[in-house]
Amino acid sequence: MLRETGYAVTAVSLLAVSVAHANQNQLELQQNPEYWATQLGNYQGNRFSELDQINRDNVNELRSVWQFSTGVLRGHEGGPLYVGDGRLYIHTPFPNKVFALDLEDEGRVVWSYEPDQDSRVIPVMCCDTVNRGLAYADGRLFLGQADNTLIALDAESGELLWDVSNGDHTVGETNTMSPLVVHDMVIVGISGGEYGIRGHMTAYNVETGEMVWRGYSTGPDDEVLIDPESTLMLGEPIGEADLGVSTWPEDEWERGGGAPWGWVTYDPDLDLIYYGTGNPGTWNPDQRAVDGEPADNKWAITVFARDPNDGSVKWVYQKVPFDEWDYDGVNENQLIDVEFEGEERKGLAIIDRTGFGFLLDRETGELLVAEKFAPETNWADSYDMETGRPNVNEDYSTFRQGVNVNTTDICPTAMGAKNMQPSAYSPRTGLIYAGINRICMNYEPYETEYVAGQPYVGATLTMMPSPTENGQMEGRMGSFIAWDPVAGETVWEVDERFAVWSGALATAGDLAFYGTLEGHVKAVDIENGEELWRFKTPSGIIGNVNTFMHEGKQYVAVLSGVGGWAGIGLAAGLEDPEEGLGAVGVFSALGDYTKLGGVLTVFALPD
């Protein structure tokens, strides 16, 4: 959907020059430790910076150098990009404004862009009007608008270069994710798992916005882009055709969700992209059973490894076959090289919604490790390492307990033990650092009917803080943890009053950074989690802490602005499970600590 045909001609003539160029540009930028050129810091999703000007010894002197109000309320996810041109590029939730801010001039607005979007998209966004940020390559910025319009802007001027529609919000499709540029393509998924949409991942040409490929999450193999003879599952070919159809009751795959709305990572050596798909449509498992028995509902809650050139699927791993808890499997796949049982392995680590920390081989999709990082996790006791399937605890199986039965005290909650907040990985320590949620739920499925554009949920749920154990975690709903992905164990843990919903950062300055829902940015000692510095921003933080260097000075920057699912579920507080039935007592209410408002805060050490 080009605005001007004249531009199309120019774009085609440029195409030959830039085919391999975009990829090279993004790779070059992210390999420069002074830049933060992609939302997760690098293609591998590590959110690690080599910069060490700000370090364990001086971080207590870190102070805010300027702040910038975005003028937008509601949840600010994602973070600023810095590509070496003296500007920060930021975005906002709906209406999805984009700002280029002059880093040298206290955030003066160089240009701003505001799309014109149908406001009817707002109420069909399940979990606030969030957006996880911009992508950049070769002088272009890419943004996935709430209304599914993918746009390319000229980074120099803010001028719109092209736009293309990736979905239809009138049937409940929306966009919250940050696209990823790989080769000469910009790759983007879709949201709407609570509206019975059919999820897909799509690649568009960076120059023209023309669609290159689309791979669905459910349905026939030729639309998922699976070849059952060559696509691997647990290291072996899948064998059976069209599991994306046969593992559903009749036609249910057409509204089977599997929305891939999280982060995409990429291995340039293997030339594979990785992402996870969301929940399988309705939250009522009974409507997804086949002949009264659990059915896998493929390929929802599945890690996909795809060839970015044509979308073909190299391997799949379904983390939760037949979801009964909304354990939306979109969490980021950290690409890390590890030593596992004496062998060098190309690993893929996930701090998952389910409360389990996974380690897979990212060449073959074999499952290597599955251990609980959130100890209260009880929906499954463990994973069967041969079949890759969870050993589900029947007491917490909302399907076995039945429709219109309230299954109680399931951990974690549907929000997941970790949601979209991206983790960090330090190659120096070999550990993953992540903000997590310590919240449990009661879940009651009920029969629901599909109506296009209307919620297709079919379960009611109540949330409460995870149970206290030996006096630990009392009054707390979140933690920041250091996780050993190979040993499958937590090395240290810092407990927080609320779920930690911000993206983590690890640096060569022996620091880990994260934000809290009350609005603190914190720096902790990467060795033991000891708090070394904090700053109270004006609103709760669900954005990601990013760092970069400009003219010899290292900066740390973060968007604050409370919201997201946390802002909906926790604003009024949770019921205290320790209180008697019918008690009015409410657990800590987020609304008592923070209010709305988007602000970018930039930090540096004194001159």
Partner 1 sequence: MTVFARFHVVPALFLTLGLASAALADEHRVTGDGPGAFVVEDGKVDPDTYEGYLVYTRACMACHGPDGMGSSFAPNLIRAAERRGWENFAGTIASGREVQPGQVMPSFADDPYVMGNIPNLFSYMRARGEGGLGRGRPQIIESMQEQGEENGDDKAAEEANAKE
- Non-local (6+) Cβ contacts of 379 within 8 A are 324, 325, 327, 354, 355, 390, 392, 393, 396, 397, 410, 411, 412
- For residue 417, CA distances in Å to 56, 193, 388, 439, 500 come to 29, 19, 20, 7, 10
Which segment (285-293, 345-353, 420-428, 574-582) binds partner 1 by CB under 8 A? 574-582
- The Cα 147–Cα 527 span in angstroms is 43
Helix (H, G, I), strand (E, B) or coil at 252: helix
Q: Which positions are annotated as active-site residues?
A: 326
Does 42 help bind partner 1 (rule: CB under 8 A)?
Answer: no
Residue 350, token pair as written in the block:
């996930």
CB of 119: closest distance to partner 1 in angstroms?
Answer: 5
Binds partner 1 by CB under 8 A, chosen from 72, 151, 338, 415: 72
8 A C-beta contact, residue 174 and residue 192? yes
CB of 456: closest distance to partner 1 in angstroms?
Answer: 9
Residue 526, token pair as written in the block:
């990467």
- The Cα 281–Cα 219 span in angstroms is 13
CB of 262: closest distance to partner 1 in angstroms?
Answer: 19
Which segment (115-123, 232-240, 474-482, 527-535) binds partner 1 by CB under 8 A? 115-123
Please list the alpha-helical segments (H only) found in 19-147: 21-31
Which segment (72-80, 82-90, 411-419, 471-479) binds partner 1 by CB under 8 A? 72-80
Residues in 183-242 that interact with partner 1 by CB under 8 A: 194
- The Cα 603–Cα 221 span in angstroms is 49
8 A C-beta contact, residue 208 and residue 216? no
CA dihedral 569, 573, 576, 582 (to 10 degrees): -90
Q: Identify which of 209, 171, 207 has the alpha carbon closest to the alpha carbon of residue 190.
A: 171
Binding mask 530-559 for partner 1 (x = CB under 8 A): ----------x-------------------
Task: Give me the phi and psi of 151, to 5 degrees please.
Answer: -125, 155
Binds partner 1 by CB under 8 A, chosen from 94, 261, 317, 533: 94
Does 500 help bind partner 1 (rule: CB under 8 A)?
Answer: no
Task: Give me the phi and psi of 171, to 5 degrees please.
Answer: -105, 15
Given the complex with partner 1, which of 372 and 438 has the nearer CB atom? 438
Given the complex with partner 1, which of 187 and 463 has the nearer CB atom? 463
In 145-283 the beta strands, taken as DSSP E runs, fall at: 149-154, 160-165, 180-182, 185-188, 200-205, 211-216, 232-233, 236-237, 265-267, 272-276
Does 119 help bind partner 1 (rule: CB under 8 A)?
Answer: yes
Binds partner 1 by CB under 8 A, chosen from 126, 152, 187, 295: 126
Does 170 help bind partner 1 (rule: CB under 8 A)?
Answer: no
8 A C-beta contact, residue 319 and residue 331? no
Kind and range of the H or E run holding 401: helix 398-401
Given the complex with partner 1, which of 126 and 272 has the nearer CB atom? 126
Given the complex with partner 1, which of 1 and 452 has the nearer CB atom? 452
- The Cα 101–Cα 446 span in angstroms is 49
Number of helices (H), then strands (E), in the chain: 6, 39
Does 67 help bind partner 1 (rule: CB under 8 A)?
Answer: no
Binding mask 388-407 for partner 1 (x = CB under 8 A): ------------------x-
8 A C-beta contact, residue 162 and residue 176? no
Given the complex with partner 1, which of 163 and 575 has the nearer CB atom? 575
Helix (H, G, I), strand (E, B) or coil at 64: strand
Given the complex with partner 1, which of 129 and 205 has the nearer CB atom? 129
Q: Count interface residues toward partner 1 (CB under 8 A).
A: 45
Binds partner 1 by CB under 8 A, chosen from 130, 556, 562, 604: 562
Does 111 help bind partner 1 (rule: CB under 8 A)?
Answer: no
CB of 133: closest distance to partner 1 in angstroms?
Answer: 17
Binding mask 511-530 for partner 1 (x = CB under 8 A): --------------------
Binds partner 1 by CB under 8 A, chosen from 2, 8, 73, 403: 73
Given the complex with partner 1, which of 149 and 442 has the nearer CB atom? 442
CB of 326: closest distance to partner 1 in angstroms?
Answer: 13
- The Cα 251–Cα 385 span in angstroms is 31
Which residues face 201 on adjacent strands? 215
In degrees, rounded to 5, the angle at the alpha carbon of residue 418 between the alpha carbons of residues 525 and 516 is: 50
Which segment (22-30, 320-328, 386-394, 569-577) binds partner 1 by CB under 8 A? 569-577
8 A C-beta contact, residue 505 and residue 441? no
Binds partner 1 by CB under 8 A, chosen from 127, 141, 511, 599: 127
Report the sign of the C-alpha dihedral through residues 475, 477, 482, 488, in that order. Answer: positive
Residues in 447-476 that interact with partner 1 by CB under 8 A: 448, 451, 454-455, 457, 460, 462-463
Does 563 help bind partner 1 (rule: CB under 8 A)?
Answer: yes
Given the complex with partner 1, which of 68 and 501 has the nearer CB atom? 501
Given the complex with partner 1, which of 46 and 279 has the nearer CB atom? 279
Contact positions vs partner 1 (CB under 8 A): 72-75, 93-95, 119-120, 122-123, 125-129, 194, 406, 442, 444, 446, 448, 451, 454-455, 457, 460, 462-463, 540, 562-563, 567-569, 571-573, 575, 581-582, 590-591, 595-596
